[in-house]
Amino acid sequence: MGFLAWPLETNRIRRDVTNNTFGTVRRNADGTKRDHQGWDLVATPLTACYAIADGVIRKREDHDAKGHGKLVVLEFLFQGRTLFALYSHLSIASVARGTKVTQGEVIAYTGTSGNANGMTGEDQHLHFEIRNELEAGRGLSGRVDPQTLYGRAPREYAIVESHGQKRLLKSSGAGLKINAQDMRRW
Ligand SMILES: [Zn+2]
């Protein structure tokens, strides 16, 4: 596929902090850093999640396990590479394993399962990863920075994609400032 859709209609990094982007960005109590394997995108529970590309659902977990909780993994082809998009902390995975889906199709609804249990307000999110292996290892092994595919992390901005139109909204402390600028080139 030539372009990727965004996983949510409104996409913004949780609390606009680097901590919730990809890489060795989180701090332990002693100040050392640890890895975050994807992006945390702010989402009220039961927000629809969209297939970012045409592909096949390779994995679905419905049990509310530790860690990711409920999840789906979409396999897709992008720029000649087979990649996997993981959506986790879901409330509902609405597609079965093996289902072929088309870009923009609703495949799940966000939630607070796994180790997002108990999160409230602005901390509720979709954990979204891009992998180059279905069963990626520990740390950043088998992961791809989503920014390398999307061009930027939606931090201090929200990227809104609806019915094929993309917009960039400047984020202010109180929420989104409605001062939309056409960003169709993304
Ligand atoms: Zn996360």
Would you say residue 119 has pLDDT above 70? Answer: yes
Half-sphere exposure of 92 (CA within 13 A, CB side): 12
Contacts of 73 (CB under 8 A, 6+ apart): 57, 58, 59, 60, 84, 85, 86, 87, 131, 134
Report how far ligand 1's centroid is from the alpha carbon of 125 (Å).
Answer: 8
With pLDDT > 70 as the criterion, what percentage of the chain qualifies? 85
pLDDT for residue 53 is more than 80: yes
Whether the pLDDT of residue 44 is over 80: the answer is yes
Distance, CA of 40 to CA of 167 (rounded, Å): 20
Give 35 Cα–ligand 1 centroid separation in angstroms: 10
Quick one: pLDDT at residue 165? 65
Q: Which domains does the chain have, with CATH numbers?
A: 10-21+35-150 (2.70.70.10)
Which chain residues have CB less than 5 Å from ligand 1, an ion? 40, 127
Give 145 Cα–ligand 1 centroid separation in angstroms.
13
Rg (CA), the chain: 16
Query: Is the model more confident about 152 or about 169?
Result: 152
Which backbone phi and psi does 38 adopt, to 5 degrees? -160, -155
Give the number of other Cβ atoms within 10 Å of residue 168's Cβ. 17
Separation between Cα atoms, residue 30 and residue 19, nearest integer Å: 16
- Ligand 1 centre to CA of 140 (Å) is 12
Q: How far is CA 79 from the centre of its chain?
A: 19
On the CB side of 62, CA atoms within 13 Å amount to: 6
Element (H, E) at 149: helix 146-150
Question: Is-contact 10 178, C-beta < 8 A?
Answer: no
d(CA 33, ligand 1 centre) in Å: 15
Count of C-beta atoms within a 10 Å radius of residue 83: 20
Question: How does strand 81-93 pair with strand 39-42?
Answer: unpaired
Q: What is the spatial distance between Cα 169 and Cα 155, in angstroms, rounded to a whole number?
A: 11
Q: How far is the CA of 170 from the centre of ligand 1 (A)?
A: 23
For residue 154, how far is its CA from the centre of ligand 1 (angstroms)? 14
pLDDT of residue 179: 39
| Cβ proximity of 180 and 168 under 8 Å | yes
